Amino acid sequence: MGPEPGTDEAFERATVHALRWLGSLAIRRVPSSATADEVAAVLGTDLPGPGEEPAAVIDRLAAAVEPGLMASASGRFYGWVMGGTLPAAAAADWLVTAWDQNAGMRDATPGVVAVEEVAAGWLLQLLGLPAGSSVGFASGATMANFTCLAAARGRVLQRVGWDVGADGLSGAPRIRVFVGEEGHGSVDVALRYLGLGAPERVAVDDQGRLDGDALAAALAKGAGPAIVCLQAGNVHSGSFDPFLPAVATAHRAGAWVHVDGAFGLWAAAVPSLAPLTDGIADADSWATDAHKTLNTPYDCGIAVVADAESVHFAMGLHASYLLTPSTVDPLETVPELSRRARGVPVWAALASLGSHGVQELVEGLVSCAQAIADGIARIPGAEVLNDVVYTQVCVTFGPDERTRAVFTALIDDGVVMPSASMWHGRAVLRFSVSNWRTGPAEVGETVAAVERAARAVAVPAGREERQQ
Ligand SMILES: Cc1ncc(COP(=O)(O)O)c(C=O)c1O
């Protein structure tokens, strides 16, 4: 095998840039320092007539883009719920690109499909979900929610004698859908894609956990097909819905139970966190992300459906030019026909961690979140608003304008990056500890950076008494 001119140089240049970027994460500023418009101006917006050598394209791309990169793979990054990338997962993802397999059909690309099937089996064992469930690798939790809810829609309608595949939704019995008041917006979007409209909201407690009695009362108000969406991991508090009673209540009413566990489902792999997920395996479907807590590269969501046939019915596609499958094809488990083998980095992440490593990863994230919360709670004027049971820390610095000013000071400082939000009517900073690179050193730097920012922002007159 000789060198392949063009390919070799381009990959070599990409490797140099990638390793330089990854090597800089420990010390670099976290927020980006250029805007999208500034990066576009450097790239140039007119497509040139003559093309460039591949290696030169890669060099130009890296130089132009780097100032606009947010160091979300840094251990000092806590924005939204993102996570970084484990070395084995990132390297496996490069192989996936080089192999360029279309992972939709089992008999056409058996190598990568086998890897995904092994990863799927590991996931079910690790998360304690029913053997034989369908596991689909979707682009993220939004599409994993969509996949699971599509399966739910077909099955609950079929139970009342309606075939949504044949007859669509026009004239169909109405499906009642219940979501907690603090459910993630991606569930609403998925319901909208599915033509199910806006869900009925169910009351939650002060940590955003669904109230089981309110769910029972809401279900009792009507009859017919129903879907209940529960949540493992509230984006503000990290809280988990009470699965054991809520699933039982929903099932008694004949409802399908779906769990959005985009980042929280991973708690099910950790014995010390078992109380959070008690009863979760009794649900009917579960959506999660590998690209959050498991730390694989984007894009990788996972849709698990206990009633595998229901998802094949919703997603399956049969055309004469495709192969006739010897068994279930991956294209029957997710919305896409053609897709990259995004389950391969999941396999690599799990292979590199082992089940013990997954437990240590998740426990490490939780203990870093608790240490950040403890450190910040000692800063004058700071208040941690949530019970830190998982990976999320939600903080205020008194009046909303001061909290926002602390956020701006932190971004200017650049050492750490939380994200800003509103929770229960108050401006908050959210620290989502989702990155395998976050450890005690990063926790120390984080608390010090927050203290610096808080000191730089004056406490409004008359509010001093709130400082502890
Ligand atoms: C609870 C929850 N559900 C769903 C999503 C959507 O995930 P994705 O962005 O991977 O589609 C997120 C994203 O942060 C989330 O936190």
Regarding whether 280 and 229 lie in a shared domain, the answer is: yes
- Contact yes or no for 263/233 (Cβ under 8 A): yes
Regarding whether 366 and 321 lie in a shared domain, the answer is: no
- Contact yes or no for 334/137 (Cβ under 8 A): yes
447: domain CATH number is: 3.90.1150.10
The pLDDT of residue 468 is 36
Burial class of residue 202 (count of CB atoms within 10 Å of its CB; 0-12, 13-18, 19+): buried
61 within domain boundaries: no
State the virtual CA torsion across 51, 55, 58, 60 in degrees, nearest 10.
-70
- The residue ranges of the chain whose pLDDT is under 70 are 1-2, 319-326, 460-468
260 in contact with ligand 1, CB cutoff 6 A: yes
72 within domain boundaries: no
286 in contact with ligand 1, CB cutoff 6 A: no
Structure tokens belonging to residue 407: 């956020």
Regarding whether 461 and 338 lie in a shared domain, the answer is: no
The count of structural domains within the chain is 2
272 within domain boundaries: yes
Regarding whether 381 and 343 lie in a shared domain, the answer is: no
Q: Given 349, 377, 411, which residue is the final one in a domain?
A: 349
From the CA of 234, give the closest atom in ligand 1: 1
Regarding whether 189 and 146 lie in a shared domain, the answer is: yes
Q: Given 317, 349, 381, which residue is the final one in a domain?
A: 349
CA diameter of the chain: 75
315 within domain boundaries: yes
Regarding whether 381 and 296 lie in a shared domain, the answer is: no
The pLDDT of residue 126 is 98
The pLDDT of residue 317 is 82
Regarding whether 113 and 232 lie in a shared domain, the answer is: yes
Regarding whether 252 and 121 lie in a shared domain, the answer is: yes
**What are the pLDDT digits (tens) for 87-127?**
999 999 999 999 999 999 999 999 999 999 999 999 999 99
The pLDDT of residue 325 is 60
410 within domain boundaries: yes
Query: d(Cα 149, Cα 161) in Å, to the nearest integer?
Result: 18
142 in contact with ligand 1, CB cutoff 6 A: yes
Regarding whether 365 and 342 lie in a shared domain, the answer is: no
Query: d(Cα 285, Cα 305) in Å, to the nearest integer?
Result: 4
Q: Given 349, 379, 406, which residue is the final one in a domain?
A: 349
The pLDDT of residue 463 is 54
**What are the pLDDT digits (tens) for 339-377?**
999 999 999 999 999 999 999 999 999 999 999 999 999
Q: How far is the CA of 167 from the centre of ligand 1 (A)?
A: 31
305: domain CATH number is: 3.40.640.10
184 in contact with ligand 1, CB cutoff 6 A: yes
Query: d(Cα 330, Cα 308) in Å, to the nearest integer?
Result: 12
Q: Which domain holds residue 121?
A: 91-349
Q: Helix 110-127 crosses helix 343-377 at what angle (to 10 degrees)?
A: 40
85 within domain boundaries: no
The pLDDT of residue 243 is 98
Structure tokens belonging to residue 23: 């090597």
320 within domain boundaries: yes
